[in-house]
């Protein structure tokens, strides 16, 4: 019996007994000889990595390097390394050998599908507008955009391609994007949140983990959280958060503050933890016009298509209720929904129809017109900030980073740019342009004469003016009290 | 004797003996039967809220749900809940039953008056420019702007209106804005800083608490603090800050770093803690042109009108002196005051007079001209960032987020936009416009020929040019050393 | 023997025995009588300062006020204070009395030369564009810009000037800029990172320390770090970072996360700690077009001119390898370098040559043209953010704050502004302008017909179009799975 045969036999036995071990709490009786072999070198070569693993639960359960990185030689990314068949990437399928339930939940989530944007509109930005095909590697002979590689794909996930030696191509690796498309066909990357090589639940419960991707001009969730009372309470009470506890039920194991996980994923007394992050949200604020989450789940063919927003809102309310009474929560939702309505009715819907009307007057390549960026930022950046700000009670993001910017750009950039298009084309010799200019002009008049916008042409409704004059008087009285 | 009569009697006794209890340190001998009744349900229904209270000083003093939420049935927002008369909102008047002194100080502060902006200019933004009347509720049949509700009011405070059932209308609740106008007529919200339901002084001493509202493009105090040496020292030494100590005197109870509270509110060896946050500032940097705090206090009829800025600066110096010597502090103020002078003389005063001169040439509705936003952001956003940045020694906020942005927009947007107004109106057939264009043109020439701005037309004073040439030579020598 | 003579004798003895003491570990046998005299007053006057020192290693080594602030009466900034000759500023030369090695390393770094920008382009911004000569003091009778004093100099360092009484002039003090030019001719300020008066190594190891200056729109290193997995792991594990340990070797003394210091300065098992922060970087991303660090070291006459970027990258790799395998690190560098290439080839090089071609058509004073700011921000703000973002794996800074903004401003501002210059000057009666307009127009055509930019005029190469159509199809298939 060669060493190799012994190793294979051990592996087969290990795999055969896996279900048994798993049901015994994912622990192995002792460290495998393969892992011992890995450790012998790597504790010297990658000392900090070894220590991280040494402080993980995996270590205590004798789940080591080999248990996660082992591969069947027929797997596409399997290669021999120091006599063992392993793969670089540990995919959700690998994690599911022990964490089946979590992976299943994750697979039902938008998170798992995050790399499917490859080829979408935002992708045109990173590939064509910002990028070129200058990054050429073995797996990408036509080249790919370094802006996509270093930007988009690091959060959304790359579609991993392999080199001849079965190592991942540098275009697609390093990558821990949450929707990574792995060589084994699975989607996702557990280490996006459970950072290597401690894989700590505690860290995944900290808001910063989510902030890796949920930050910045177009989705500043972490900034909003940090502004909110939730974030303030968290930072002031992080020592009381019991983040390392196995069981982490709000109102039982901690009470001082909620993190992102608390509200969107973690257990309450009546709800189990879930790895499908969309299950408690009642709006998907990604598109120009917010949609209910069951609609966007249906688009991706996810099982969430059958879970109504009302049902999800009940789930979230069940979290809120640990610190707030029902009346408070219901009133909060009245406020939040109203902000969505305002954004939709005053800006998103008319803005979108104006943009469509402007289409025939624009240079054909998307983003080769200034107004393409103007409209894009109104909905994709500023409009989202307002909606996300309201959803998590961060008033400065709702207003100063949100509706203020939306309104500023709507009136001081978008409307004048549209008017310019009308002016430059209303006498066009091209009858199609002339007609489009007329149509756009009519649409503009229609929008600006609506009561939401009539102030702009100084045509406030007299009843409204009277109401406002009265408020102003009240203000002056208050101020001079 | 019915249960209700018993309860009322207990309440009357409690209220009668209150001053006695208060002077004994705000403690009650035992938990009241009313609070026990509240807890019986709420410890199940709102477990985390119950735990927060359980870790508060209120708990140890037997100050429970009822002691704060109890109401007289004649109070406007009193309602019966499970046999007890309570109100949802605990106003400063309620808190003052024990914390009279703190509430009194708070009442003298700008904080308490923060909701008086309702009806002001910024309010026009949120209500008319960004908003509409789409949010209609029982108490607001004419509708109100969701941008104001979710934005402005969450920091400034709402004017709470009640539903028929005496619960607050969702337009005005949830709301913890610091100047909230309560149903009992009081102004303020103690929970703005002392977060429910632990009401912790420690949390109120953390900078994040202030950052709830003092953040963002127009008043980034928390960002500046975090950049400053004060913030760096705080984050590195938070464990040594002794934040939970009852007595919290800088130089006695902690020495590692100051928080916002340390400088603006908390005790020194010679000054008591104060809840009037304006008592140690020597500039109010809110308006276009900064004013001394006694002036802005006088406008609001606050007692601070009699406290000069010099007196307040002495108060602040008394804090600084714990870590810095007097010469350092005085020199700091020379630097800070110089930045204010620069901003005033070079940008704010000429900018304001140019804006006034442009008035007759603008579309009548405020914020329907691009230039309205240009000028507004120069003073309200960027000019404030520069001033606040200098006040707290955050150099990137002073410069890159501050004076750099002010100058960039002054020269690359504001001046050209004003010049455009001149160009478009100097041959106007409307004699009023023609005259206004001439006046604005003259004003523009006057500003641009001033030595602060003559560089713009490449007309640097020869003496100045000689000085600069010499500096440049020195730079080149230094650089090539 | 007078007291004064005794004091002087003690000082002479102390100085004479200094080398001995230093080699004995920098400790003095007992507190000096001079320091005792300082402390007698200052523990009352500056209690927190006294406590900070009391918790420092200096205290345990009997290194007190006098040991650092003592001065020879012939030193330019020496003055008598309560019978002792001292100086306000403790310069690197003073620190080098004990910490010679660290100061020597620091002196070889860019950090030490940071004040040499005085007189440079950015300085024109702060002095002329943003500033005036309104801040006049004894040492600056011609006046100086408060924007430079409160902004630039607080990070870069001031050139300290003295008053007649030998105290520093308020224009130049307070100042802890890292390249401060001190009265004794030395460059640098150790307290820039080792904050007074604890001088803690632990604090200097926290990322916030670096964030004092490395933040904001033009060099957001701290923001990028906080977004990155490195920052997330740090914030989640700060308790395990062993920051106060004397020895601080990654993989031995801590393993949970790296801070800025870990990667750029601190020890590994095979590399010693260094105070020359540039020794492990392989790109200097400051200029329009990134250069190798040995080139920029040569410009400043620094010894680093002889250390190639490859050598430095090996040094950094030696850090990375503690947590990542070699393939990971090499692939990361492929990604990072590709982003630099993309930025260079698509935007920086053509952008720069277009700006040069536009020169003769611009108003002569730099920054009196809008386009001066447009181009400046493309490279100095946004282009740096993209490069820094990629260097530290912060995808939102690389993309949304970086390449997205670069591309947006390149196509929606810069190109149209250049086209406007062509249009306004192509029929100029000034033959020089006419010729320059023709040249610029030709250059513009050349750039826009390059395959990197041909999309803008809707002239995508057919082969490229075919590739993109295929990707789009793949996207739609994926999306509808």
pLDDT tens string, chain A, 481 residues long: the values are 455 555 555 555 545 444 444 444 567 889 999 999 999 999 999 999 999 999 999 999 999 999 999 999 999 999 999 999 999 999 999 999 999 999 999 999 999 999 987 766 667 899 999 999 999 999 999 999 999 999 999 999 999 999 999 999 999 999 999 999 999 999 999 999 999 999 999 999 999 999 999 999 999 999 999 999 999 999 999 999 999 999 999 999 999 999 999 999 999 999 999 999 999 999 999 999 999 999 999 999 999 999 999 999 999 999 999 999 999 999 999 999 999 999 999 999 999 999 999 999 999 999 999 999 999 999 999 999 999 999 999 999 999 999 999 999 999 999 999 999 999 999 999 999 999 999 999 999 999 999 999 999 999 888 888 888 887 787 777 666 5
**CB contacts, 8 Å: B155 with chain A:** 395-396
**CB contacts, 8 Å: A398 with chain B:** 147, 150-151, 154
Q: Is A468 on the interface with B (CB under 8 A)?
A: yes
Q: List residues bridging with B159 in a β-sheet.
A: B181
Q: Do B132 and A346 touch (CB under 8 A)?
A: yes
d(CA C265, CA B211): 32
Cα C465 to chain centroid distance, Å, stands at 43
CB C282 within 8 A of CB C88: no
Residue in chain A nearest B211 by alpha carbon:
A227
Res C5 pLDDT > 70: no
Q: Do A151 and C335 touch (CB under 8 A)?
A: no
Indicate the range of B17-26, C408-417, C433-442, C456-465 predicted with least confidence. B17-26
In this prediction, residue B74 carries a pLDDT of 95
Give the contacts of C33 (CB within 8 A, at least 6 positions apart): C7, C10
CB-count exposure of residue B414 (10 Å: 0-12, 13-18, 19+)? buried
**CB contacts, 8 Å: C305 with chain B:** none
- Tens digit of pLDDT for each residue in C343-365? 999 999 999 999 999 999 999 99
d(CA B192, CA B176): 5
| Confidence grade of residue C472 (pLDDT, cut at 50, 70, 90) | confident
Q: Is B390 on the interface with C (CB under 8 A)?
A: yes
Nearest CA-CA distance, residue A46 and chain C, Å = 4
| Listed residue (B207, B175, B170) closest to B188, CA to CA | B175
Q: Is A470 on the interface with B (CB under 8 A)?
A: no
| Confidence grade of residue C438 (pLDDT, cut at 50, 70, 90) | very high
Nearest CA-CA distance, residue B350 and chain C, Å = 14
Indicate the range of A117-126, A310-319, B82-91, C310-319 predicted with least confidence. A117-126
| Listed residue (A286, A279, A284, A237) closest to A261, CA to CA | A279
d(CA B94, CA B110): 20
d(CA A45, CA A39): 9
Res B25 pLDDT > 70: no
Contacts across the B-C interface (CB distance below 8 Å): 213
Task: State the average pLDDT over residues B195-224.
Answer: 96
**CB contacts, 8 Å: C259 with chain B:** none
Would you tell me which residues 439-458 of chain C have a C-beta closer than 8 angstroms to some C-beta of chain A? 451-452, 455-458
Q: Do C365 and B457 touch (CB under 8 A)?
A: yes
In this prediction, residue C4 carries a pLDDT of 55
d(CA A319, CA A262): 8
In this prediction, residue B119 carries a pLDDT of 65
**CB contacts, 8 Å: B400 with chain C:** 151, 216-218
In this prediction, residue C20 carries a pLDDT of 41
DSSP C81: E
In this prediction, residue C473 carries a pLDDT of 80
In this prediction, residue C119 carries a pLDDT of 65
**CB contacts, 8 Å: C468 with chain A:** 127-128
d(CA A172, CA A265): 29
In this prediction, residue B16 carries a pLDDT of 47
Q: Is A338 on the interface with B (CB under 8 A)?
A: yes
List the alpha helices (DSSP H) in A378-414.
Answer: 384-391, 395-398, 404-409
CB B146 within 8 A of CB A338: yes
In this prediction, residue C343 carries a pLDDT of 98
In this prediction, residue A269 carries a pLDDT of 96
Q: Is C61 on the interface with B (CB under 8 A)?
A: no
Q: Is A137 on the interface with C (CB under 8 A)?
A: yes
Task: State the average pLDDT over residues C330-334.
Answer: 98
CB B116 within 8 A of CB B300: yes
Q: Is C143 on the interface with B (CB under 8 A)?
A: no
Nearest CA-CA distance, residue C125 and chain A, Å = 27
Q: Do A130 and C406 touch (CB under 8 A)?
A: yes
Q: Is A215 on the interface with C (CB under 8 A)?
A: yes
Give the contacts of A356 (CB within 8 A, at least 6 positions apart): none
DSSP C149: I
In this prediction, residue B474 carries a pLDDT of 76
Residue in chain C nearest A298 by alpha carbon:
C480
Task: State the average pLDDT over residues B130-140.
Answer: 97
Q: Do C151 and B331 touch (CB under 8 A)?
A: no
Nearest CA-CA distance, residue B365 and chain A, Å = 5
**CB contacts, 8 Å: B324 with chain C:** 46, 49, 174
Give the contacts of C143 (CB within 8 A, at least 6 positions apart): C132, C133, C134, C135, C136
| Confidence grade of residue B480 (pLDDT, cut at 50, 70, 90) | low
Q: List residues bridging with B81 in a β-sheet.
A: B84
Q: Is A9 on the interface with B (CB under 8 A)?
A: no
Contacts across the A-C interface (CB distance below 8 Å): 213
Q: Do A407 and B155 touch (CB under 8 A)?
A: no
Indicate if the alpha-carbon torsion angle C51, C53, C59, C62 is positive or negative. Answer: negative
| Confidence grade of residue B214 (pLDDT, cut at 50, 70, 90) | very high
| Confidence grade of residue B23 (pLDDT, cut at 50, 70, 90) | very low
Nearest CA-CA distance, residue A269 and chain C, Å = 26
Q: Is C233 on the interface with A (CB under 8 A)?
A: yes
List the alpha helices (DSSP H) in B152-195.
Answer: 153-156
3-class SS at A142? strand
Q: Do C226 and A218 touch (CB under 8 A)?
A: no
Q: Is A143 on the interface with C (CB under 8 A)?
A: no
- Tens digit of pLDDT for each residue in C12-68? 554 544 444 444 456 788 999 999 999 999 999 999 999 999 999 999 999 999 999
Indicate if the alpha-carbon torsion angle A16, A22, A23, A29 is positive or negative. Answer: positive
CB nearest A411 (choices: B129, B155, B174):
B129
| Confidence grade of residue C189 (pLDDT, cut at 50, 70, 90) | very high
Res B9 pLDDT > 70: no
Residue in chain A nearest B124 by alpha carbon:
A468
Q: Is A325 on the interface with B (CB under 8 A)?
A: yes
Q: Is B143 on the interface with A (CB under 8 A)?
A: no
CB C362 within 8 A of CB C200: no
In this prediction, residue C132 carries a pLDDT of 96
Chain A neighbours (≥3 Cβ pairs under 8 A) are B, C
Chain C neighbours (≥3 Cβ pairs under 8 A) are A, B
CB nearest C342 (choices: A132, A197, A370):
A132
Note the ipTM here.
0.94
**CB contacts, 8 Å: B211 with chain A:** 226-227, 232
Contacts across the A-B interface (CB distance below 8 Å): 213
Q: Is C465 on the interface with A (CB under 8 A)?
A: no
Residue in chain B nearest A459 by alpha carbon:
B365
Q: Do A396 and B216 touch (CB under 8 A)?
A: yes
- Give the β-pairing of C135-137 and C84-86: unpaired
Indicate if the alpha-carbon torsion angle A126, A127, A129, A131 is positive or negative. Answer: positive
CB-count exposure of residue B145 (10 Å: 0-12, 13-18, 19+)? buried
Q: Is A408 on the interface with B (CB under 8 A)?
A: yes
Residue in chain B nearest C381 by alpha carbon:
B400
In this prediction, residue A1 carries a pLDDT of 43
**CB contacts, 8 Å: B154 with chain A:** 393, 395, 398
Q: Do A368 and C338 touch (CB under 8 A)?
A: no
Q: Is A373 on the interface with C (CB under 8 A)?
A: yes
**CB contacts, 8 Å: B235 with chain C:** 206, 208
Task: State the average pLDDT over residues C441-452.
Answer: 97
Nearest CA-CA distance, residue A456 and chain B, Å = 5
Q: Do C211 and B227 touch (CB under 8 A)?
A: yes
In this prediction, residue C475 carries a pLDDT of 72
Nearest CA-CA distance, residue A189 and chain B, Å = 32
């Amino acid at each position: 019996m060669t060493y190799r045969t012994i190793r294979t036999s051990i592996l087969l036995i290990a795999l055969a007994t896996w279900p048994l071990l798993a049901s015994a709490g994912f622990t192995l009786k002792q460290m495998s000889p393969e892992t011992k072999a890995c450790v012998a070198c790597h504790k010297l070569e990658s000392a900090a990595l070894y220590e991280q693993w040494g402080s993980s639960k995996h270590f205590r359960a004798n789940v080591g390097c080999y248990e996660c990185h082992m591969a069947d030689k027929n797997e596409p990314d399997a290669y021999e390394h120091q006599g063992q068949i392993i793969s670089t990437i540990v995919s959700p399928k690998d994690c599911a050998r022990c964490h089946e339930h979590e992976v299943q939940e994750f697979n039902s989530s938008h998170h798992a599908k995050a790399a499917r944007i490859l080829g979408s509109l935002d992708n045109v930005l990173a590939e064509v507008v910002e990028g070129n095909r200058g990054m050429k590697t073995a797996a990408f002979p036509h080249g790919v955009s370094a802006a996509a590689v270093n930007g988009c794909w690091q959060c959304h996930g790359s579609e991993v391609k392999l080199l001849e030696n079965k190592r991942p191509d540098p275009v697609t690796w390093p990558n821990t994007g949450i929707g990574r498309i792995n060589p084994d066909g699975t989607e996702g990357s557990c280490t996006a949140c459970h950072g290597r090589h401690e894989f700590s639940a505690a860290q995944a419960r900290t808001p910063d983990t989510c902030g890796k991707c949920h930050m910045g001009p177009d989705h500043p969730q972490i900034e909003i959280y940090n502004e909110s009372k939730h974030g303030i309470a968290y930072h002031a009470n992080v020592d009381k958060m019991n983040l390392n506890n196995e069981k982490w039920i709000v109102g039982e194991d901690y009470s001082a503050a909620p993190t992102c996980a608390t509200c969107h994923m973690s257990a309450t007394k009546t709800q189990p933890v879930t790895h499908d992050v969309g299950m408690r949200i009642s709006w998907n604020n990604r598109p120009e016009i917010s949609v209910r989450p069951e609609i966007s789940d249906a688009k991706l063919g996810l099982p969430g298509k059958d879970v109504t927003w009302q049902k999800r809102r009940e789930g979230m309310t069940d979290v809120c209720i640990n610190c707030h009474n029902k009346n408070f929560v219901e009133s909060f939702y009245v406020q939040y929904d109203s902000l969505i309505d305002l954004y939709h009715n005053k800006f998103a819907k008319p803005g979108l129809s104006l943009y469509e009307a402007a289409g025939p007057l624009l240079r054909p390549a998307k983003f080769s017109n200034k107004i393409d960026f103007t409209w894009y930022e109104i909905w994709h950046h500023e409009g989202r900030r307002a909606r996300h700000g309201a959803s998590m009670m961060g008033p400065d993001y709702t207003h100063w980073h949100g509706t203020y910017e939306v309104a500023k750009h709507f009136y001081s950039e978008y409307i004048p740019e549209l008017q310019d298009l009308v002016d430059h084309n209303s006498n066009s010799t091209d009858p199609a342009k002339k007609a489009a200019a007329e149509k756009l002009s009519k649409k503009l008049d229609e929008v600006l004469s609506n009561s939401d916008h009539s102030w702009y042409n100084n045509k406030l409704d007299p009843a409204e003016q009277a109401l406002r004059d009265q408020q102003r008087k009240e203000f002056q009285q208050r101020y001079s009290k």
